[in-house]
């Protein structure tokens, strides 16, 4: 029985990870920590502990205490803050972890640094500029971006700090609202607006070799109506999707940052007006929130990830890029268990409704 510690265990991303391990062929003893006393109560684990925040000076000592008490062998985080912290301090953690190089994690947790490497590698990316301070000429940037631009924070998840703007006043007001000290210094970028269609290429690597990758389109953002930008970071319905051009661009985006990747690389891409997928960020060291989708469809990437983290081999997948069939959908929402279906069933319901309406 493998003994695994999952940090941030009360969050949705960790719930998907834990459920995937429960669905694995072997048995797991799973311990969860969370810094939120309420989130902790909903963690689907065998033992749970309220943890300090990762910036607490005693955080590492706390984790090692839990590791010793519960005989933990492997530690995994499902949020950016703890991924960054555990990666940087991996040698101080008294259990196995599975990360790429420290520098890779640092680069990919900075969206502007990622952009610069992709641009240098000749990968099609949206035109992007760093807002260096209050003296930045937003009017010139707006003109350069074609009269509309996308503002977003250089780090963080869930569409943090993002907003499409079409005039300088809106841009200034948004930046002032986001930056309480009013400095804007190097914490935001602006880029040209891409199309709403987005896709994530979730990939697992070991010693520079691709183990498996699967594409997923996002059909809409859950709770998009309550977000100023329409982006919430929470997929409402996902769709399995494969495309050779997308696969090639995603691989190149990973290898432009790390020529010997290890672990998890989730390449987020948005399509431009010419239909070319542009990398916008790589979520490093963690799965996208709804990855139980793939597990329920027959591709248990968390199980493979943990095995590789233990130094074990995983069965070779003959078709290791998009092994799942296209057209599967994962439909989710607050307080609902997700539903695995397919586009044929979805469209049949539309056809049935239209038929009834025609008969009325």
| Residue 118 included in any domain | no
C-beta separation of 84 from 109 below 8 A:
yes
Are 187 and 203 in the same domain? no
Are 156 and 257 in the same domain? no
Where residue 306 sits, what CATH number does that domain have?
3.30.470.20
| Residue 181 included in any domain | yes
Are 38 and 166 in the same domain? no
List the structure tokens of 283.
Answer: 């979520």
Say what the pTM is.
0.84
pLDDT, position 340: 86
- Angle made by CA atoms 333, 75, 215, in degrees to the nearest 5: 45
Are 176 and 202 in the same domain? no
| Residue 109 included in any domain | no
pLDDT in tens, the chain (360 residues): 999 999 999 998 999 999 999 999 999 999 999 999 999 999 999 999 999 999 999 999 999 999 999 999 999 999 999 999 999 999 999 999 999 999 999 999 988 889 899 999 999 988 887 877 777 777 777 777 777 777 877 776 555 667 777 777 777 777 777 776 556 666 787 777 777 788 999 999 999 999 999 999 988 765 545 555 555 556 668 899 999 999 999 999 999 999 999 999 999 998 988 899 999 899 999 999 889 999 999 999 999 999 999 999 998 898 999 999 999 998 877 656 777 888 888 888 778 778 877 886
Are 204 and 187 in the same domain? no
Domain edge (last residue) among 191, 223, 246: 191
pLDDT, position 182: 59
Domain edge (last residue) among 191, 213, 247: 191
Closest CA to 299 of 307, 287, 308, 291: 291
| Domain residue limits at 81 | 2-97
C-beta separation of 237 from 329 below 8 A:
yes
Where residue 70 sits, what CATH number does that domain have?
3.40.50.20
| Residue 210 included in any domain | yes
| Residue 80 included in any domain | yes
| Residue 180 included in any domain | yes
Residue 306 host element (H or E) = helix 301-309
Are 6 and 80 in the same domain? yes
Are 327 and 233 in the same domain? yes
SS3 content of the chain, % helix, strand, coil (to 5): 35, 25, 40
| Residue 357 included in any domain | no
The Cβ of residue 260 has, within 10 Å, a number of other Cβ atoms equal to 13
Are 213 and 158 in the same domain? no
Domain edge (last residue) among 166, 191, 216: 191
Q: How far apart are the first and last CA of the chain?
A: 60
CA atoms of 336 and 188, how far apart (whole Å): 35
Report the number of distinct structural domains present in the chain: 3
C-beta separation of 207 from 217 below 8 A:
no
The Cβ of residue 32 has, within 10 Å, a number of other Cβ atoms equal to 27
């Amino acid at each position: 029985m493998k003994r695994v510690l999952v940090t941030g265990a009360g969050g949705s991303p960790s719930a998907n990870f834990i459920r995937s391990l429960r669905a694995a062929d072997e048995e797991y003893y799973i311990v969860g920590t969370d810094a939120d006393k309420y989130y902790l109560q909903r963690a689907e684990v065998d033992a749970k502990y309220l943890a300090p925040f990762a910036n607490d000076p005693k955080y590492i000592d706390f984790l090692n205490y839990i590791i010793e008490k519960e005989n933990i062998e492997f530690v995994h985080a499902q949020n950016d803050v703890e991924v960054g912290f555990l990666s940087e301090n991996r040698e101080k953690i008294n259990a196995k972890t599975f990360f790429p190089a420290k520098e890779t994690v640092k680069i990919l947790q900075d969206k502007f640094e990622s952009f610069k490497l992709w641009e240098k590698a000749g990968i099609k990316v949206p035109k992007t500029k760093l807002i260096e301070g209050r003296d930045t000429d937003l009017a010139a940037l707006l003109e350069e971006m074609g009269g509309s631009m996308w503002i977003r924070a250089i780090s963080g998840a869930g569409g943090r700090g993002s907003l499409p703007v079409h005039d300088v006043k809106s841009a200034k007001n948004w930046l002032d609202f986001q930056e309480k000290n009013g400095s804007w210094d190097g914490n935001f970028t602006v880029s040209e607006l891409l199309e709403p269609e987005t896709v994530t290429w979730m990939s697992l690597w070991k010693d520079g070799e691709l183990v498996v990758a699967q594409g997923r389109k996002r059909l809409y953002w859950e709770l998009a109506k309550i977000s100023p930008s329409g982006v919430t970071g929470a997929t409402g319905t996902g769709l399995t999707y494969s495309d050779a051009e997308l696969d090639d661009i995603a691989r190149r985006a990973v290898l432009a940052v790390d020529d010997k990747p290890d672990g998890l690389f989730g390449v987020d891409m948005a399509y431009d007006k010419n239909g070319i997928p542009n990398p916008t960020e790589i979520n490093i060291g963690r799965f996208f929130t709804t990855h139980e989708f793939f597990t329920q469809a027959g591709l248990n990437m968390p199980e493979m990830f943990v095995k590789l983290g233990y130094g074990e081999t995983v069965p070779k997948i003959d078709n290791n890029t998009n092994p799942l069939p296209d057209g599967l959908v994962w439909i989710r929402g607050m307080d609902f268990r997700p539903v695995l279906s397919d586009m044929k069933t979805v469209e049949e319901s539309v056809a049935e409704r239209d038929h009834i309406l025609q008969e009325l």
